Amino acid sequence: MSEAKVREVLPGIFLLHLPLPMRPSIVNVYLLRSRDEWALVDTGVHTPDSVAAFESALREVGCPPDRIRKLVCTHHHPDHFGSSRPYKERTGAEVYLNPREYESSKSYLPHTRSEAALEFFVRNGIPLNRFVHIPSPAEVWGNMYAPATPDHFIDDGDVVRIGDLEIEVVATPGHTSGHCVLYVRNCRAMIVGDHLLPKITPHVGVFPGGPSNPLADFLDSQRKVQRFDVDLVLPAHGGVYSDHRHRANQIIQHHEYRLREMQDCVRHQARTAYDVARLTFGFDIDTTLAVQFPATFETLAHLEHLRALGRVVREDEQERTWYRSNAGC
């Protein structure tokens, strides 16, 4: 088999490398086989390159497309759910997804930004008047996102059976509100999507209409996965690895550092989330919007978590929201 495209990481579990049109340049999806049944976990984006790589991988492992009976997705983002509809049509597989993720997938449909969303951007300091156009998710992803309507909704504690394999669904909200990891009980492997990446930390942000404190959810989810005995971690980006508890603790420590750093930014002066993001992420007004907006949303997640902990205070004045360190903290 070609190491660049597919390899068997455990008996009956194949890692497929599918190309992405942006960084990170590869997403890992997983084919699972037990007895005469196959399943696919995550799909990659819907691009000719990704589809070609997927079809080539199926040929390499000897999996006829119509033998894939289940398509299970960790969350709704385009590199994980983007080819779910065409792959469902190609294979006849039934699609499994968390219901909150299905609702979130609709945000990628073409739509006009609401007044509430624009107000949210302005309130948190984003200088909309400096930008000619802010593309919507549908404009960014276009035809690369072809989501399916799920046949089955999954949530914490559910079990999906693939032949003799028992796949336990573990809800890990944070990166998205309905993100789930999949624990393969038979071999103590965990397919973690974007939750527990080996080299980078996933984006955790506050968005219009989303959870108010997703960072608290994310940190709780990092602690939650440590309760499982895992021999091999199968992430969506980066190589497979062991010692998931060590990596989860590293991620928690990273966010604890970020929380202290952002609290320091508002210790002597009240600032908006955008102002704090510029200081901590080191961008300016000319930096690409693909950096400015996510950095602001992630900063907002940290500031809102600090507020929940009583370490900062939020002040709403006219069209702006300001954060300042709580006296004595």
pLDDT in tens, 48-79: 999 999 999 999 999 999 999 999 999 999 99
**Percentage with pLDDT > 90 across the chain:** 85
Residue pLDDT, tens place only, 187-200 = 999 999 999 999 99
Q: Which of 52-56, 95-99, 188-192, 318-322 has the lowest mean pLDDT?
A: 318-322
3-state secondary structure of 303: helix
pLDDT of residue 138: 85
Residue pLDDT, tens place only, 133-181 = 888 888 888 899 999 999 999 999 999 999 999 999 999 999 999 999 9
Distance, CA of 225 to CA of 204 (rounded, Å): 17
The answer to whether residues 295 and 283 touch, using CB atoms and an 8 Å cutoff, is yes
pLDDT of residue 2: 40
Q: Closest Cα to residue 144, out of 202, 225, 83?
A: 83
Rama region for 6: left / alpha / beta (φ>0; ψ in -120 to 50; rest) = beta
Q: Cα(first)–Cα(last) distance of the chain, in Å?
A: 57
Q: What would the mean pLDDT of 91-95 be, rounded to a whole number?
A: 98
Candidates 1.10.645.10, 3.50.50.60, 3.60.15.10, 3.40.50.150; CATH matching 6-116+138-244:
3.60.15.10
Question: Using CA of residue 239, residue 64, residue 146, residue 42, what is the dihedral sign?
Answer: negative
Distance, CA of 120 to CA of 210 (rounded, Å): 12
Q: Is the pLDDT of residue 98 over 50?
A: yes
The answer to whether residues 219 and 260 touch, using CB atoms and an 8 Å cutoff, is no
pLDDT of residue 1: 38
- In the block, tokens 């590199």 appear at 79
- In the block, tokens 């990481």 appear at 9
Q: Closest Cα to residue 244, out of 253, 236, 257, 235?
A: 235
Distance, CA of 54 to CA of 19 (rounded, Å): 10
Domain limits, the chain: 6-116+138-244
275-to-99, 143, 316 alpha-carbon distances in Å: 35, 34, 15
The per-residue pLDDT of the chain, averaged, comes to: 95
The answer to whether residues 118 and 131 touch, using CB atoms and an 8 Å cutoff, is no
Q: What would the mean pLDDT of 268-297 be, rounded to a whole number?
A: 95
